[in-house]
Amino acid sequence: MTTEKKQTGGSVLFNVLQQHGVEHVFGYPGGAIMPIYDALYDSDVQHFLCRHEQGAAFSAVGYARASGKVGVCLATSGPGATNLITGLADALADSIPIVAITGQVPTSAMGSDAFQEIDVFGLSLACTKHSFQVTNVNDLPKVLHKAFAIALEGRQGPVLVDIPKDVQLAEVTNSLEDFSQLRNKVKLPPANVGSAIALLSKAKKPILYVGGGVGMANAIDELRAFSETTKIPSVSTLKGLGAIDPDDENYLGMLGMHGTKASNIAVQECDLLIAVGARFDDRVTGKLNEFAPHAKIIHFDIDTAEINKRRAADAAILGDLKINLPALAIPLSIADWQQECQKMKQDNAWRYDHPGENIFAPAVLKEISDKMPKNACVTTDVGQHQMWAAQHMLFNDPSNFLTSGGMGTMGFGIPAAIGAQVSRPTDCIIAVSGDGSFMMNVQELSTIKRFQLPVKILLIDNAKLGMVRQWQDLFFNGRLSETDLSDNPDFIMLATAFDIKAKQITKKSEVSAAVEEMLEHDGPYLLQVKIDAQDNVWPLVPPNTANDQMMESI
Amino acid sequence: MNQYQLTIKADDKQVVLERILQVTRYRGFLIDGINAKVNTGTHIGTIILMVRSERSITLLVDQINKLIDIKEVKIDDVVAQ
């Protein structure tokens, strides 16, 4: 494509976004990005004004994770750019494709400690997959196309493009070629599945260890077909939840620090662990040199650097899961092992017969999970509520459970739900939050109000930083340092101030009706659920401990 | 602590040297020496990096290889144990 009309850097940005199918962006204007916001005025791209740049970044992450598209966020220079950093780090840790655009002071002022100048290009090195700073407007179209290509190729991730103000204002003098098909080639050797098939054929007690890479590779069908053919008992990471059908009789649940007892014991006993798009994260492995101690390892991944990083692989299969998983799908004779795993699952099933009148958060989450539409998308913040949601809610696709896995970023849930709702306007979006996390990006209630987004917020309130309090009780002799939040604001009044209908419940008997009211409400809704401040997340594998030595109560 | 010498070929792009140094430090390697030059004809830079660490050198090689502008990373030899 070529065009005769002269365009500025700002208008080029929106033309390229539209070439990549971008309909929605999240951002916050400021001095050094004003030419881009001026170009936005004439663009068909819809902008969602967030109330903090961190909210914009997390909304872009939620948008990308819920839709499979690239999320786009905009911020000005200096503090606008630094406020994006946490969101970019979150996207890098969870391999989420984001393109972040930052304004920069004019090139003539760069390096002079100008007003609102920060070296965001330098800051980006540790928190992006790649980054660019554009100093010639004629380079801008190609750089933007490359940013999209890099965000999506191989292991996905965030890309930042820093654009000085004079470049945004400058006219493009060369033709606007269409680089939308630009792709860097991911150089991977052909997968050799022979050694993996040999390991698989000999295994008596194999386990399928499913990670977030399965959803990212769009290989859910291939994974389920593999699981159906081999009938290997499976476990999931936090980010892999939803990849395996939760009703599969051979599925044992989440593994790791707050994993199910059946999952952790099965992994510790297995003789072959097949890691699929998973990276042996420390929250999964517990004490690394005692993790799956009897197991050979087959490791499927798109990222060469993950192979042998934390655990040596006996067979590594690099490349596209959609191609490589079917190559290993062979029937196995492991009936005894399947039955043993199913029995462990049955013997250690969750119980919801919590004594007393206080509300038991896992039971609330199970009730929502049972009653929400099948295509509902749940986001979480970080803490006890996050682990309870992962344990007690069931998802049929990873794009229906958005949680900050690698970075563990409090404040993720509400803006991520906004992004998810924008990308899936007719689906039920539920943000599960805690009273600590909720206050970290509470300003985004204003974004919900402005765009009348029907996000449902389940606020699990123990007036504590609950997970830190739990660890202080268990591992720091009960010395409760700075975890009391009993001076929280009145959350009902707060939500009402943003025109969000809100209700508080304190007793078990109120749960069912309140959950139904929330799910049936035609608009945004906040349900505040007061729970006992002493409730803990169980099981728990203590730090630097093998996964079969989990605590199940105090 | 093992010492290694890497020869890295990279496109002559913005901050490529900073990216290599950031990854090297973050992944637990100390830099003992560095020599970098650019072929102005091919726009390809050659960086010779001497590092030491108790970690496996393949961890660093894999991470440098992930950087977008890197063309090749070779482990030259083990300088000393």
The answer to whether the CB atoms of B18 and A122 lie below 8 A apart is: yes
For residues A430-435, give the mean pLDDT: 98
How high is the pLDDT of residue A179?
62
DSSP-based three-state secondary structure for A309:
coil
A→B contacts (Cβ < 8 Å), by residue, are 121-122, 125-126, 129-133, 150, 184, 303-305, 307-309
Best mutation target among B23, B62, B63 (most A Cβ atoms within 10 Å) is: B62
Annotated catalytic residue within A14, A26, A53, A456: A53
The answer to whether residue B80 scores a pLDDT higher than 70 is no
The whole-chain average pLDDT of chain A stands at 96
The answer to whether the CB atoms of A133 and B14 lie below 8 A apart is: yes
The answer to whether the CB atoms of A184 and B59 lie below 8 A apart is: no
The answer to whether residue A511 scores a pLDDT higher than 90 is yes
How high is the pLDDT of residue A182?
55
The whole-chain average pLDDT of chain B stands at 94
The answer to whether residue A102 scores a pLDDT higher than 60 is yes
Residue bearing tokens 């894999």: B62
CA neighbor of A272 nearest in space, from A320, A324, A215, A234: A234
CA neighbor of A255 nearest in space, from A372, A68, A247, A270: A270
How high is the pLDDT of residue A6?
78
A542 class by beta-carbon count within 10 Å (0-12 exposed, 13-18 middle, 19+ buried)? middle
Q: Within its chain, how far is the Cα of A168 from the centroid?
A: 32
Characterize A197-234 residue by residue with b for buried, 16 or more Cβ atoms within 10 angstroms of its Cβ, and e for exposed: eebbeebebbbbbbbbbbbbbebbebbbebbeebbbbb
Q: Is A254 a catalytic residue?
A: no
| pLDDT band at B79; cut points 50, 70, 90 | low
Supply the angle between the helices A384-392 and A361-371 in degrees, to the nearest 10: 50
**Predicted confidence (pLDDT) per residue in A5-38, tens digit:** 679 999 999 999 999 999 999 999 999 999 999 9
How high is the pLDDT of residue A180?
56
| Bridge pairing between strands B70-80 and B2-11 | antiparallel
**Predicted confidence (pLDDT) per residue in B29-64, tens digit:** 999 999 999 999 999 999 999 999 999 999 999 999
Please list, in sequence order, all residues whose beta carbon lies within 8 angstroms of the beta carbon of residue A216, skipping any fewer than 6 positions away: A95, A155, A156, A277
The answer to whether the CB atoms of A121 and B15 lie below 8 A apart is: yes
The answer to whether residue A545 scores a pLDDT higher than 60 is yes
Report the distance separating Cα A430 and Cα A223, nearest Å.
Answer: 27
**Predicted confidence (pLDDT) per residue in B3-13, tens digit:** 999 999 999 99
Report the distance separating Cα A186 and Cα A179, nearest Å.
Answer: 18
Q: Is A115 a catalytic residue?
A: yes
The answer to whether the CB atoms of A305 and B65 lie below 8 A apart is: yes
For residues A438-458, give the mean pLDDT: 98
User: In B, which residues are within 8 Å of A305 by CB distance?
Assistant: 59, 62-63, 65-66
How high is the pLDDT of residue A191?
73
Identify the closest residue of chain A to B20 by CA–CA distance: A125
Q: Within its chain, how far is the Cα of B37 from the centroid?
A: 13
Facing residue for A304 by CB, picked from B15, B26, B65? B65
For residues A436-449, give the mean pLDDT: 98
Chain A: nearest CA to B19, how far in angstroms? 6
Residue A70 gets which letter from DSSP?
Answer: P
pLDDT above 90 as % of chain A: 95
| Bridge pairing between strands A71-75 and A24-27 | parallel
The interface predicted TM-score (ipTM) is: 0.95
The answer to whether residue A452 scores a pLDDT higher than 80 is yes
User: In B, which residues are within 8 Å of A187 by CB distance?
Assistant: none
The answer to whether residue A119 scores a pLDDT higher than 50 is yes
Best mutation target among B60, B66, B70, B72 (most A Cβ atoms within 10 Å) is: B66
How high is the pLDDT of residue B81?
47
How high is the pLDDT of residue A3?
47
Please state which of the ranges A181-190, A448-457, A467-476 shows the lowest mean pLDDT: A181-190
Q: Is A116 a catalytic residue?
A: yes
CA neighbor of A285 nearest in space, from A256, A308, A264, A314: A256
CA neighbor of A447 nearest in space, from A419, A427, A423: A419
Report the distance separating Cα A310 and Cα A65, nearest Å.
Answer: 26
The answer to whether the CB atoms of B66 and A304 lie below 8 A apart is: yes
Full DSSP string of A206-265: EEEEE-THHHHTT-HHHHHHHHHHH---EEE-TTTTTSS-TT-TTEEEE-STT--HHHHH
The answer to whether the CB atoms of B62 and A304 lie below 8 A apart is: yes
For residues A228-232, give the mean pLDDT: 98
Q: Are the beta carbons of A118 and A91 closer than 8 angstroms?
A: no
How high is the pLDDT of residue A20?
97
Best mutation target among A107, A142, A145, A309 (most B Cβ atoms within 10 Å) is: A309
The answer to whether residue A376 scores a pLDDT higher than 50 is yes
User: In B, which residues are within 8 Å of A126 by CB distance?
Assistant: 22, 26
For residues A168-191, give the mean pLDDT: 69
Report the distance separating Cα A112 and Cα A117, nearest Å.
Answer: 8
pLDDT above 70 as % of chain A: 96
**Predicted confidence (pLDDT) per residue in A415-430, tens digit:** 999 999 999 999 999 9
For residues A157-186, give the mean pLDDT: 80
How high is the pLDDT of residue A173?
82
Chain B: nearest CA to A381, how far in angstroms? 27
How high is the pLDDT of residue A554?
85
The answer to whether residue A185 scores a pLDDT higher than 60 is no
**Predicted confidence (pLDDT) per residue in A198-211, tens digit:** 999 999 999 999 99
pTM, two decimal places: 0.97
The one-letter code for the residue type at A29 is P
Facing residue for A305 by CB, picked from B14, B22, B66? B66
Report the distance separating Cα A285 and Cα A287, nearest Å.
Answer: 6
Chain B: nearest CA to A186, how far in angstroms? 10
How high is the pLDDT of residue A189?
66
The answer to whether the CB atoms of B14 and A305 lie below 8 A apart is: no
